[in-house]
Amino acid sequence: MGPAVPLPIHRLAGICILAAALAACADATGPTLDDVRGHRVTWSAQHLSDYTYTYEVTRFFIKWEDQQLRIDVRNGAVASAVLAATGESVSDTPSDFPTIDGLFDRAAQAARDHTLRDIVFDPRLGYPVRRDLAGPPDASGSVFAIQLHPVP
């Protein structure tokens, strides 16, 4: 085997342009961290620390997947997580479930990891009502947070 022959400069430039174009396409297809941050400002302006919302996760192979949970948040922390259909407690550790701020944290991390395929925000309160995540079969699915009700 002889010495390595360098690529002609025009061919190397073409490869670099192609690589840059592919990288730009990959970044443009999903929501950005700025999208998440912008909506978090809207949510934070609500100053809600006491609320309930319906939470559902699909396709993550967890015991409560595809079941709606009612998450009760008090003073900015999850106080309870129960099955919406029965009222049965889902966990002895409610903090295992996210507040809306926790959902924003998870969405921001997914945007940084390039696993956030899509995100939809509540038009009035700004919180994420649906996140679609990409990954291997056991790490792809959707997370829903709907029917948020402030508690007086």
Question: How does pLDDT run across 69-105, given as a tens digit for each residue?
Answer: 999 999 999 999 999 999 998 887 888 899 999 999 9
Q: pTM for this structure?
A: 0.75
- HSE-CB for 31 with a 13 A CA cutoff: 26
Taking the C-alpha atoms of residue 97 and residue 63, their distance in angstroms, rounded to an integer, is 14
Which run of H or E residues covers position 57?
strand 51-58
Choose the most confident range, by mean pLDDT, from 7-21, 48-62, 120-134: 120-134
Among 125, 100, 126, 131, residue whose Cα is nearest residue 30: 131
Bigger pLDDT: 129 or 60?
Answer: 129
Q: What is the mean pLDDT of residues 32-37?
A: 95
